[in-house]
Structure 1
Amino acid sequence: MRDNLRDRRALMSSLVYPLLGPALLALIFMVVGKSVSERSEKPLELPVAGVEHAPNLVTFLEQNGAEVVPAPEDPEAAVKSGDAEVVLVIPAGFGEDFQAGRPAAVRLVVDDSRQSAGVSIGRAEALLRTYSAQIGALRLMARGVSPQVMQAVAVERVNLATPQSQAAAVLSMTPYFIVLALFIGGMYLAIDSTAGERERGSLEPLLINPASRRQVVFGKYAATLVFTVVGLAVTLIGLMVLMNLFPLENYLGIRFHLSGTALVAIFFIALTIALLAASLQILIATFTRSFKEAQTYLSLLPLVPALPGIFLALLPVKTHLWMMLIPTFGQQLLINHLMRGESVSALHVAVASGRTAAAGLALITLAAKLYERERVIFGR
């Protein structure tokens, strides 16, 4: 372990790589937040075809923050190619239907597959809905009818979301980065102490020592676990700095505060994943014949347990007890709850931690038994 403390690659995997997750989150927040705020603040550039058919509508659009510009000759081709985000087409029969009191149709040409155009499309639709509601109210008043008769049901929206839960929806990728850090922090040490030593021929002299082979394996496991836990701590510190000091409100319009209690709870919940990660890495590296082969396998390993984190970010699920039996998945669910400022069940924590710790113990025990075979020790 002392040798790895002087090894630049081991220190990089434990101290530097775990910071990539928080750094990537900060970069995403800055880019996305800046893009959305710029689109929301600048005037809506709205190409309109058939301006002469609805001058009053065009005037309303201009008075409410839209910059009306001439539409391209082929609106559909322009939107499809990305030259225009949205185009309003006013047909020739608009004025006749409008004067007759009939619904006057307009066409809003959009491409919903372009997420970058979502803000412009939403603003254009909101302006048209507002104009339609105002004209409808004026027509009713002209006939001596109160516009309120059109509102049969008054809906009062009660939003129970807290600033913490709203921010957690944006930060839903956090469990993914935590698990990723756990499987990266001790990876180099796990490879170097197994496949690396066997490749260098230093494993055989090590086993001549009075310590049993089981003790040697558990020593390698303990050293790997230390680096893994350090990687976890570095990631959580990076996330705490990001969420408490980084101006999320300036970029995303949300406030978020990660308390010290929640941070400690996340650390201990994720600690059982560290037990599993270190044992799984040593077991896999034991089967490999070279340092490069072990590096190839263990580089792909973090993607498997981290996949549930991506799943949670895209499709949040309701937590059930049976989910706690799935190693790493239960912990990611619990971390997600803590990020939202919600309490977690002690039973869920116990089941998830016990299941994952048991899996880690079983794997490292299997690795220790493998080292009793001469083929594993001398195989190259």
Structure 2
Amino acid sequence: MRWPVVRLIAGREVRDQLRDRRTLFLILGLPVLMYPLFVGVGILFVTALKEKKLVVGVVGPGHAPAAEPDLTPVLGGPGAAAQELRAYPALFGPDGQFAPRYTGTALVSAPMGVEPLPAGTDDEYRELLAQRRVDAIVVLDSDLPARLARYERPEIEVPVAVGTFPVATTTVPVDRGARPAVRVLGRDGEENSKLAVQRVTGVLEHWSNDLKAARFARLGLPADIDHPIEIRDPQSEKTSEKKIADDLRDMLVKVIPFLLVMWMLTGAIYPAIDMTAGEKERGTMETLLISPAERTEIVAGKFLATTCFSFGTALWNVALMLVAVAAAPLLAPGLFGHGLISLAGLAACLLAAIPLALLFAALALSLGVFARSTKEGNYYMVPLFFVVLPLAYWSMTPGIELSEFTRWVPVANALLFQQRLLAVRTDAFPWGHVPVVFGVLAACVLTGLFAAVRQFHREGVLFREGETSGKRGWSLFGKK
């Protein structure tokens, strides 16, 4: 194989593709339009979520315990701090809405509004939900404070009388009866109601924890008596913004390789079709075949040109990602100040994409030369998407990583390798899997090139314009 001839053919194919406006738009222009569109959709989603107000109907808001401290003396005498701890927390604020301390401070959350409702039957509550007047209903029993008070003292003193004269006292347990209950109702199978039920349930759980702490304080017990041990996990010391940033980084680790694969596949398909089936339509394939270049050199030149466009698409998309990351602090400085993307990891991920560009170029070239026309070539590329997409989605499965099995799966092994490069982890890098990953990809590339070379050596594949469906067909590796 003469490499000067290969370079000459590759340069000629690259120049021809650079003159094609459709190819340039699909490779360069489409990502420029798509990324702002994705960002705009995300901003619209967050804006719509924040503007949407979830209406929660509350039956009996006045039945909630009053936010007043219990000043009953306890052993040792209560100080100001003890009296504050013994105060029942207020579920509702002065404006009748849920107390701000319970609604949370999530960066992306729909606000909740409280609408008082009269007491009624369950059928009436379901009718209100069906009419969409409210998204969820909270029912507070009228004897809620009384039932809570029964738990404030484990036992009471009862006088013991002889005849009609009390002579002593004894202690008996308090009959507490059933625990007080707060019911939450919602619509089945409806997204807004489901979200409202989740939000209001979180509010009630937070309020219940504060009620429990106040009850312990009233009984003279430490507020953390029901926690025999203190569990300290890595997430407990992080702020909400840092937790969201970590989740976003974990998502980007999986999404970035997936996007690169999809764009590289797109960047390989259209040039490969135009270099093969397109030349058949234009009649320039014969001119190339009668040149002094060998068939293998022709395939190698077209393969290098297709690889350049495939990998160039990856470079262009990474540049757009860097622009988006650079602009992100201007949009949300509190969220993107934690280093979401490592530039070193992104550069390594980009280098690891070269074998994938070679693979897609070889596969697209072998399929493109088999087609009679560009229209037929586009049809042949559909199965390629159907093979690559499931493998790419599989690599995004939570918990999956490079292992003794996944390293043998083409495309997925390269994506898992790229994810490991982007991830910020302290454990050892799985270098033992890398030779197998690149060996499998190299075998797939050689197989695709072998199929393309075999077809370029068969005149019936290269000149099939007049072939009818009743004549002998061809496969990728020869006659049927």
TM category (shorter chain) comes to 0.7 to 0.9
Whether 1:375 and 2:385 are equivalent positions in the alignment is no
Aligned partner of 2:92 among 57, 61, 65: 61
Partner of 1:49: 59
State the 1:224 CA deviation. 1.1
State the 1:200 CA deviation. 2.9
Partner of 2:307: 225
Contact preservation (8 Å) 2:268, 2:310: yes
- The 1:253/1:261 distance shift into structure 2, 3 A limit, reads closer
1:350 & 1:117 partners in 2: Cα distance? 52
Which deviates further from its counterpart, 156-165 or 267-276?
156-165
Partner of 2:23: 10
Partner of 2:205: 129
Q: Structure 2 stretches of 5 or more lacking a match?
A: 1-12, 68-88, 101-111, 152-177, 466-480
State the 1:33 CA deviation. 4.4
State the 1:77 CA deviation. 5.7
State the 1:230 CA deviation. 1.0
Partner of 1:197: 279
State the 1:126 CA deviation. 3.0
- SS of structure 1 residue aligned to 2:357: helix
Aligned partner of 1:158 among 217, 234, 237: 234
Partner of 2:366: 283
- SS of structure 1 residue aligned to 2:231: coil
Residues 16-42 of structure 1: per-residue CA shift (max 9 Å, x gap): 234466445534543444456x37xx9
- SS of structure 2 residue aligned to 1:70: strand
2:200 & 2:350 partners in 1: Cα distance? 46
- The 1:265/1:242 distance shift into structure 2, 3 A limit, reads same
- The 1:133/1:55 distance shift into structure 2, 3 A limit, reads closer
1:165 & 1:349 partners in 2: Cα distance? 27
- The 1:292/1:23 distance shift into structure 2, 3 A limit, reads same
Aligned partner of 1:338 among 409, 421, 441: 421
State the 1:80 CA deviation. 6.6
State the 1:284 CA deviation. 1.3
Kindly report the root-mean-square deviation, in angstroms, between the aligned alpha carbons of the 2 structures.
3.4
Amino acid at match of 1:253: L
TM-score, length basis structure 2 = 0.68
Q: What is the number of residues matched between the two proteins?
A: 377
Q: Structure 1 stretches of 5 or more lacking a match?
A: none
Residues 7-62 of structure 1: per-residue CA shift (max 9 Å, x gap): 101212322234466445534543444456x37xx987432124354474995233
1:81 & 1:157 partners in 2: Cα distance? 44
State the 1:140 CA deviation. 3.4
Give the 5 Å matches for 1:282-321. 282-299=365-382, 301-321=384-404
Residues 70-93 of structure 1: per-residue CA shift (max 9 Å, x gap): 359854466578664432123456
- SS of structure 2 residue aligned to 1:279: helix
Partner of 2:267: 185
- The 1:107/1:22 distance shift into structure 2, 3 A limit, reads same
Whether 1:168 and 2:249 are equivalent positions in the alignment is yes
Amino acid at match of 1:243: V
- The 1:31/1:321 distance shift into structure 2, 3 A limit, reads farther
The structure richer in helix per residue is 1
Contact preservation (8 Å) 1:168, 1:339: no
1:11 & 1:318 partners in 2: Cα distance? 35
| Higher-RCO chain (CA-CA 8 Å, sequence separation at least 6) | 1
Partner of 2:161: none
Aligned partner of 1:353 among 425, 435, 438: 438
Contact preservation (8 Å) 2:65, 2:144: no
Contact preservation (8 Å) 2:57, 2:115: yes
Contact preservation (8 Å) 2:141, 2:180: no
Which deviates further from its counterpart, 319-328 or 13-22?
13-22
Contact preservation (8 Å) 1:88, 1:108: yes
- The 1:335/1:252 distance shift into structure 2, 3 A limit, reads farther
Aligned partner of 1:140 among 216, 236, 256: 216
